[in-house]
Structures are given as structure tokens and as C-alpha cells.
Structure 1
Amino acid sequence: MIDYPDVQSSLPEHLIPIQRVGVKGVYYPIQVKRSGRSVNLVAKIDLSVDIPANRKGADISRNLEAVNDILGKGEIDGIETVAKLLSEKLLEKIPYSNMSTVTIESDYFIPKRSESGKESMVKYRIYGKANASRGKSTIERIGVEVKGMNACPCAMEGTRAIMMDKFKMESEFLSSIPSITHNQRNMVKLVIQTSPENPVEVDDLIMIVENIFGSPLLPLLKRSDEANIVYNAHMNPKFVEDIAREVVFQTVIKYSMFPDYTEIEVSSESEESIHPHNAFASIATTFGSVRKSLSKKF
């Protein structure tokens, strides 16, 4: 019988601790049963732990053992729950680690109808995240990625100024309607801390973001739908900064009973139509910090 050496437990050349080591891109089919319905997902899972300075490597195979242990049990009630269970299972299987991180993401589809009544399957991205620390409570997060249409307010006011200069007799009318501007396809990522005491549904997060856009991006649109989407975007133009702030604000309002320590992360990125680059804004804060900021008078 061959005695295979345990290389991972040997001393490294440089005695430096590593905060995160693990695997990325583990794909696994999962079935979520929640709110009276079941949803099949193909989850992409990243798992990692810390290792001490006196250890050459981590036992990577235990990451996959943890996945099989947790996901081999059948239905679960949410990807944030899976992330929590996996992060805790990692610390159970790897005694030399004190911290673990798990991120799960998957495509998620919801049927949506346009104003003309045409139905489309709209694709979103959903996230479950967890950070476990030995001797402490596990931090869970749930999130979504949503795309929508936006109109640039800067170009709108610029073209308004040009038109009011060229058509001085119509300046009053021109000041009362949206002006010409360029469109942007904006992608918002919203991630919020959650817990069994403070549950969050991905459908609700998607609704928060889409209400700010005014319309989701739909695969199937008739002429009237296209016109309404463009009209609505031009009636409510926003910078990426406006979108990020509005998502944070509406999320804090929606979950007004959540404690001040609740963490929230929002990013807003617009695919620019008149630039070769994109514009973005991001916010990482807590509900308490947002409430404190909103209470100030400037």
C-alpha cells in the first residue's frame, strides 16, 4: 500500500498567512423551494478559506466534499442558505482555518409582459454570499443583477440649450418637454445582508431596481412598447450616480425594520453609446450610515 505524503501540511518557504485559498467555478444543479414554488438553478460556486503561515497549502478536495455534503440533500430554500451552510461546513472540515467565504451565482428567469401584452422570459443574475468565522455568527447576503434602459441628463440639457437658442420663439415649450439625448443600457448589482430573522426575496430586489429604471429590458417588443420604453426613460433621465443612490434609498425604505448594521452594496454601470468606455458608480455602506446621512440638512 502506497503511503502518499501530506504535502499541504508541510512548511512553506515563506511563512506568510493567506486570507483566501480555494476553488472557483464549481457548477452544480440545485433546486430551490421557496414561497410555494420550486425553481431549478445551475449554480456557479466559489469557495475559499484562510490558512496559517506555517501551512504550505489547503486541502482543496474538502471544498468539493462540502459541496456534495450540502447539495446532495435535495431541495433547499435559497442560495443564500446554501452559501451559509457551505461556509460553515468548510470550517467543520478544515480545522486549521478560521474564516471561510462562499459565493454562489446563477441565472434566474421571470416571465414579464410588455405594455402591449407580449410575454418574454427575462434573464437576471442572482447571488448568495456568506462569510463564516470560527466562534462568530455567519454573515449572509443575497443579491441580484438587473439591466434596464437609461437616458443621459447631461446631453439632454445640452441639446435643450442648443434647440432653445435656435428656436427662441419655442423656448417655453422646449423647456417643458424632454430633449434629445443618448440612451444607455444600465446594469445594477444590488447585494444586501440578510438573516433568518430578516429574510429577503430576490423578486423584491429585482422589483426595486426595475421600478427605478421604469422598465425592464424585454426580448420581445412591439412598436408601441419600444416607444413607451424610450419615452419613459427620457421622462426620467439619470446619471449612474443617481441610479446607485436611488437603489440604496429605496432598499432602505423597503426594509425599514432592518437593523442599522445591515450591509448593502450597489453598483450601477452604463454601457455608453457615445463613448468607447462605460460609466459606473458604486456604494458600499450600512443602513445606519444611510439613515444618518439622510437625516442631515445641507
Structure 2
Amino acid sequence: MNHKKIINLPSKIERHKRFGSVDPIQGTKPTTKEKMADLQNTPHDYLFQLDSVGICQVQHPITVYSDIEPIEQTTIASLQLTTSLHREAKGINMSRLTEQLEVYRQEGWSTELGTLAKFTKELAVRMNQDKAEIKLSFPWFYETASPVMNLKGLNHAQATVQMTYQQGRLFTNVGLQVAVATLCPCSKEISEYSAHNQRGIVTISVELHSDFEGDWKVLLLSAAESNASSALFPILKRPDEKAVTERAYENPRFVEDMVRLVAADLYEMDSVRSFTVECRNEESIHLHDAIAKVSYTKA
């Protein structure tokens, strides 16, 4: 029989002291905010004005609204909050950034462009700066039905928003990264049968006009999926798989084809001022990937 020895533990305070804790000392510096030195707001010539200063990698829950199911969802966004900084100021009060984030959380924090525009403008005013900017990245889930059996499930894409307020003007940039299927036109052309295919990662970034209304996520998703050899689906039965593979065979795409076709859709959208489209194919018969990119600014 294994008899365990009883341990007589000292008190928790004594245990902490045994492992290095010491009693606090009597300090001489102020303990109230009003009496503490405010280094950030000490005026001087600090040599350069800064383009941006703030915080990044802020993980925060946020509500996403969509024109397709699920209409409302809560996700986790990665945020970057920055402002400009005058030459005469040593630093910004960074605590105000997360203070404002908490205010909006309590009021109903969402990815709606109107909400983000209001947040960014208020941030510039609150920080007494000419420019403020918020960047956020978040996964967006959307319902997709299989082409034959109509079996529904959730796909997801990575969405981004960059809202900039500068000297009274707002600039809105949004983006979406979507996975699709692409079938190689060359392989189809030279082979007696079959053709190799791969997963394509389409990344779209656009600058929107300030009067844009609607769900930009759905627009960019459609631009990517409708020009691919095939969209991807969360659930496929055999009739669905037959339809998907045959559709891909009927619509072969190089990476060059993908970026040009998506660009054409974006060019036709009146709400888009400029855009960049990139496609990266994860090649199935090579160890390398194929990549193409196009950028365009409308006159």
C-alpha cells in the first residue's frame, strides 16, 4: 500500500514570500491622475509629424450584417486603431483608443460602413488630430447551397475594412479573400482526357465612393465566384460533385484569366473608384503556386 505523506502548508502570504514576493515600499511619486506627469501632452519641437501611431492586433467581438444568410452574426475582428501626431506633441493618449472602442461596444459595435465612418471621425476629434484610421479584418460566414441537391452549409471568406478620416474627408477601402476552384486550360487542351485543377485564392481590394449603399461583401464574393471555374461548397453529394466537376471542365481558368474577369466585373460597378485583384493558384501538379495581379483606378 502506498502511503502519501501529509504536507503542512504555510499560509498563502508566507508561500508567496518564500517564492520571492516582497512587501510594497512607501513611494514618493503621486498616486492620483491629477498630480501625475503627463509626458504625452508636454509640448516641444519633436522634429517630425507622425503619419500614424496607435494600437494593433486588438482582438474584439463585432457584429456582421449581411444580405445573405446568416443575416446577422457575431465574429472576432482583428483591429488597428491609429491617428496622426502633430510635431509639437510627444505622444497620444492611447487609452482613449480602447475607451472609444468600449463605448461603441456598449452601443452596438458592427462592421457597417456608416458605424465605422462615425467611429473614425469621432476618433480624430477625440484625439485632437487631423487624421484617424481604423483597419479591421474578420471572417465572414455565408450560406451556400449545393448545385443539385440544394444542401445548405456555411462557407467563409476573410473580409477587411480600412476607414480613413483626414481633414474632413472620408476614404473607404474594403476587401475580400475568397477560395475558388480553377481548372487548367492548358492541361485540358493537351490531354486526351481529364485536366488538373487547383484551389485558387482570390484577393480583391476596392476603394468605394463615399455614397455607397449595400452589402459590399456580397458584391465582391459574386465577382470572385462567378468568374471561377467553380465555386466551393461545404456539402456535396454525388450528383452535386458531378455537376461541380463538369462545370469546372466547361470553364477553364488561368490565374491571368481570373484577375482579368474579376477586374471586368469591378470596372462595371459604379460604386467602385479603384481596385486591385490578385489570384494565387495552389498548383496540384507543381510544388510552386501560380500568381497574377492587376490594379486599376477609374478616371
Please confirm whether the aligned pair reaches a TM-score higher than 0.5, indicating the same fold: yes
Q: 1:252 to 1:268 in 2, by over 3 A?
A: same
1:233 equivalent in alignment to 2:267: no
More helix by share: 1
Match of 1:287 in 2: 298
Q: Distance in 2 between matches of 1:279 and 1:70?
A: 42
After TM superposition, give the deviation of residue 148 of structure 1 in Å: 0.6
Query: Aligned partner of 2:196: which letter?
Result: H
CA shift digits 1:69-113 (9 cap, x unpaired): 33321265x433333222212211211x32222112222222211
SS of residue matched to 2:107: coil
Query: Aligned partner of 1:275: which letter?
Result: H
Q: 1:33 to 1:246 in 2, by over 3 A?
A: closer
Aligned match of 2:238 in 223, 228, 236? Answer: 223
Q: Distance in 1 between matches of 2:66 and 2:188?
A: 44
Question: Is there any run of 5+ residues in structure 2 with no aligned partner, and where?
Answer: 1-29
Q: Give the alignment of 1:1-298 within 5 angstroms.
A: 1-2=30-31, 3-9=35-41, 15-32=47-64, 37-74=71-108, 76=110, 78-95=111-128, 97-114=129-146, 115-135=148-168, 137-157=169-189, 159-160=190-191, 163=192, 180-195=194-209, 197-201=211-215, 202-253=217-268, 255=269, 257-258=270-271, 262-288=273-299
Match of 1:174 in 2: none
Structure whose CA Rg is larger: 2
After TM superposition, give the deviation of residue 211 of structure 1 in Å: 0.9
Q: Distance in 1 between matches of 2:87 and 2:186?
A: 52
SS of residue matched to 1:284: strand
Query: Aligned partner of 2:155: which letter?
Result: V
Q: Distance in 1 between matches of 2:133 and 2:294?
A: 21
After TM superposition, give the deviation of residue 190 of structure 1 in Å: 2.1
**Is the CA contact 2:144–2:152 (under 8 Å) kept in the aligned structure 1?**
yes
After TM superposition, give the deviation of residue 33 of structure 1 in Å: 5.2
After TM superposition, give the deviation of residue 14 of structure 1 in Å: 7.4
**Is the CA contact 1:108–1:125 (under 8 Å) kept in the aligned structure 2?**
yes
SS of residue matched to 1:276: coil
CA RMSD of aligned residues (A): 2.8
Question: Is there any run of 5+ residues in structure 1 with no aligned partner, and where?
Answer: 164-178, 289-298
Instruction: Give the percent of matched residue pairs that are identical in Structure 1 and Structure 2.
Output: 23
Q: 1:283 to 1:69 in 2, by over 3 A?
A: farther
Q: 1:116 to 1:276 in 2, by over 3 A?
A: same
**Is the CA contact 2:121–2:165 (under 8 Å) kept in the aligned structure 1?**
yes
**Is the CA contact 2:182–2:230 (under 8 Å) kept in the aligned structure 1?**
no
After TM superposition, give the deviation of residue 68 of structure 1 in Å: 1.9
Q: Distance in 2 between matches of 1:276 and 1:56?
A: 50
